[in-house]
């Protein structure tokens, strides 16, 4: 009986070095020193309250039939529109505001979802009832828009909106200098900011999910059964590592966070489950760095009657 385990660190994907990912025109309108974060947050909170005063719930909208922006861009590319024209194709998109320009009775907003980014064109003539809400928008807010697919005079693909919804008001402003989030400590402590700022980091998370799913599919295809084993264990084992200690109040007993699922997987073999595997979270109370996390994912597989050469492979 053999156990082959693979610790999925993916450190190069999820914990890159100090590389900064730049995105053009991303929160870079102001070059002069910005107000402190508390002042900016208070201003955003005032805008949130102002939205409520005009009857707009800053967190209230839930919409169906929202198209991924990449699908809308593909649809627009297939139309072969001339610059400055509009089609009859309607769509509904939603995303976070990345660029906001209000020029009198015309506004352009660039939004980004998980797939792509696209420009929204808004005219006060078509959105007179929404114009007060438009004045309360900030970078980072999540909005939804519905309209026709067209282009600007410069040929940029644009959704010319005739309906605008506030999905979620952002109360925290972007970092002071948005040339890519370069502070390594900040990136790891505020991972959500890193995801928000650096699209390639989101791609790494997507790749990690695909890798784990591929491993899962492979093992299932080989006849292995995925199982769950206890995270809290009275006796830790399966590896040589220092555990995290906790206490179960109801049972009044000391427990450990698992350092490996191996021993419990072997118990399943004793019970007659010949091929099992687990994608588990494990905890080892040891060193920490930008490339090593005490909490990590491990893939463990084991079988009770393995051919000798299968272990070598």
CA dist., res. 98 & res. 119, Å (int): 10
- Interatomic CA distance for residues 90 and 185, integer angstroms: 44
Six token digits for residue 142: 């999540």
Euclidean distance between CA atoms 151 and 73, whole angstroms: 11
pLDDT the model gives residue 238:
87
Tell me which fold the domain 37-168 belongs to. Answer: OB fold (Dihydrolipoamide Acetyltransferase, E2P) (2.40.50)
Quick one: which H or E segment has residue 43? helix 37-53
φ and ψ at residue 265, rounded to 5 degrees: -65, -40
Q: What are phi and psi of 252, to 5 degrees?
A: 50, 55
Q: Which residue has the tokens 């463990």?
A: 300
pLDDT digits (tens, 9 = 90+) for 69-114: 999 999 999 999 999 999 999 999 999 998 999 998 999 999 999 9
Give the per-residue pLDDT at 36. 67
Domain regions of the chain by residue span: 2-15+180-312, 37-168
Is the dihedral angle over the CA atoms 129, 132, 134, 136 positive or is it negative?
negative
Confidence of residue 64 (pLDDT cuts 50, 70, 90): confident
pLDDT above 70 for 257: yes
Name the phi and psi angles at 29, rounded to 5.
Answer: -75, -30
Please tell me the number of Cα atoms within 13 Å of 75 on its side-chain side: 20
Q: pLDDT class for 13, splitting at 50, 70, 90?
A: very low
CATH 3.40.50.10190 fits 2-15+180-312, yes or no: no
pLDDT of 1 > 50? The answer is no
| Rounded Cα gap, residues 275 and 310, in angstroms | 13
Q: What is the largest CA-CA distance in the chain?
A: 76
Q: Which uninterrupted H or E stretch holds 213?
A: helix 199-221
Q: Tens of pLDDT along 137-174?
A: 999 899 999 999 999 999 999 999 999 999 999 998 76
11 pLDDT higher than 80: no
Cβ 1 vs Cβ 304: under 8 Å: yes
For residues 159 and 79, what is the distance between their CA atoms, to the nearest angstrom?
Answer: 13
Average pLDDT over every residue of 109-123: 94
Kindly state the tokens that stand for 130. Answer: 């929404």
Give every CB contact of residue 189 below 8 A, 6+ residues apart in sequence. Answer: none
The dihedral sign for the CA sequence 159, 162, 165, 171 = positive
């Amino acid at each position: 009986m053999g156990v082959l385990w693979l610790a999925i660190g993916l450190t190069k994907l999820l914990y890159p070095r100090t590389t900064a990912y730049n995105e053009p025109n991303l929160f870079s309108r102001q070059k002069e020193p910005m107000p402190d974060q508390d002042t900016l947050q208070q201003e955003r909170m005032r805008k949130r309250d102002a939205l409520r005063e005009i009857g707009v719930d800053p967190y209230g909208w839930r919409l169906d039939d929202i198209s991924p922006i990449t699908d809308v861009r593909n649809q627009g590319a297939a139309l072969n529109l001339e610059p400055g024209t509009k089609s009859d194709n309607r769509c509904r998109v939603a995303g976070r505001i990345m660029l906001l320009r209000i020029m009198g009775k015309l506004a352009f907003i660039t939004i980004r979802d998980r797939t792509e980014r696209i420009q929204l064109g808004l005219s006060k003539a078509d959105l007179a009832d929404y114009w007060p809400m438009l004045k309360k928008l900030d970078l980072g807010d999540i909005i939804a828009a519905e309209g026709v697919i067209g282009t600007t005079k410069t040929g940029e693909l644009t959704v010319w909106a005739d309906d605008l919804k506030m999905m979620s008001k952002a109360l925290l402003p972007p970092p002071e200098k948005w040339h890519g989030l370069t502070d390594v400590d900040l990136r790891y402590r505020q991972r959500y900011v890193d995801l928000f700022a650096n699209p390639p980091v989101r791609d790494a998370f997507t790749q990690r999910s695909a890798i784990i799913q591929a491993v899962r599919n492979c093992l299932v295809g080989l006849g292995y059964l995925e199982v769950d084993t206890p995270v809290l264990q009275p006796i830790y084992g399966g590896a040589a590592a220092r555990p995290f200690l906790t206490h179960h109040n109801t049972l009044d007993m000391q427990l450990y966070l698992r350092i490996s699922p191996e021993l419990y997987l072997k118990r399943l073999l004793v019970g007659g489950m010949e091929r099992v595997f687990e994608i588990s979270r494990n905890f080892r109370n040891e060193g920490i760095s930008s490339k090593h996390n005490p909490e990590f994912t491990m893939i463990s597989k084991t079988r009770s009657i393995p051919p000798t050469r299968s272990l070598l492979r």
